[in-house]
A and B are shown apart, each in its own frame.
Chain A
Amino acid sequence: AQTVTQSQPEMSVQEAETVTLSCTYDTSENNYYLFWYKQPPSRQMILVIRQEAYKQQNATENRFSVNFQKAAKSFSLKISDSQLGDTAMYFCAFRSDNAGKSTFGDGTTLTVKP
């Protein structure tokens, strides 16, 4: 079974600064997909960014980018120019290729301070 570990329960960052959230996972599969989801205090979860394991290039979406290290099974999220609206809980998720079942980490609560 796959496991996803987020070792930072809480983090904070000053507005306009950069912050990196960590995620490690364990799997025996070679083809899989990784996601970062954001869950603001209103609790509607939305996708931030996704990465296909077969792609070496790290995904980027505006201020959000990932550092995907397949051999180390590491998938960190970097948020640049942090904004107050980035305050939320962030979940790292693993999705296997064939089953399509997603496994989520326990989340990191990020607070952006003015």
Chain B
Amino acid sequence: EAGVAQSPRYKIIEKRQSVAFWCNPISGHATLYWYQQILGQGPKLLIQFQNNGVVDDSQLPKDRFSAERLKGVDSTLKIQPAKLEDSAVYLCASSPQGAAWQETQYFGPGTRLLVL
């Protein structure tokens, strides 16, 4: 079974530029998560999708971050414009069913973003 795929793996941009990250979850997984992991901290949930609907985006800075999951499969996370404090690893995870607690989250390798 293929794991969660993310691209790109690394990205360096100047502040005020835009950037987009892509995630392909494990086939058949209904729930998809985007996390921001700042160096030295634990992952912080940005947004959670159930199929193509948003379950939780309470910690997503909506003035600059946006995410979509068209057709309930792949997802993209966009930052526009980027700030220095957005430098972090962006992790995508998926789980097989809905928001049931017992679902294990399967994580991708992450995209490391550096904003200069």
Contact = CB atoms under 8 A, between A and B. Distances in A.
Contacts of B98: 100
A47 B104 contact: yes
Contact of A43 (B42, B89, B103): B89
Nearest to B108: A44
A93 B98 CA distance: 18
A110 B56 CA distance: 32
Given A43-B89, A44-B109, A99-B99, A104 B44 contact: yes
Q: Interface extent on B, as a size class?
A: 20 to 34
A52 B89 CA distance: 29
Nearest to A44: B109
Contact of B48 (A45, A96, A100): A100
Contacts, number: 58
A33 B104 contact: no
A101 B108 contact: no
A27 to B, nearest CB: 13
Contacts of A106: 40-42
A15 B8 CA distance: 36
A99 B110 contact: no
Interface of A: 4, 32-33, 37, 42-47, 50, 52, 91, 93, 95-97, 99-107
18 contacts: A32-B101, A33-B101, A33-B102, A37-B107, A42-B109, A44-B3, A44-B107, A44-B108, A45-B107, A47-B104, A47-B105, A52-B102, A93-B42, A96-B101, A101-B45, A101-B56, A104-B44, A107-B42
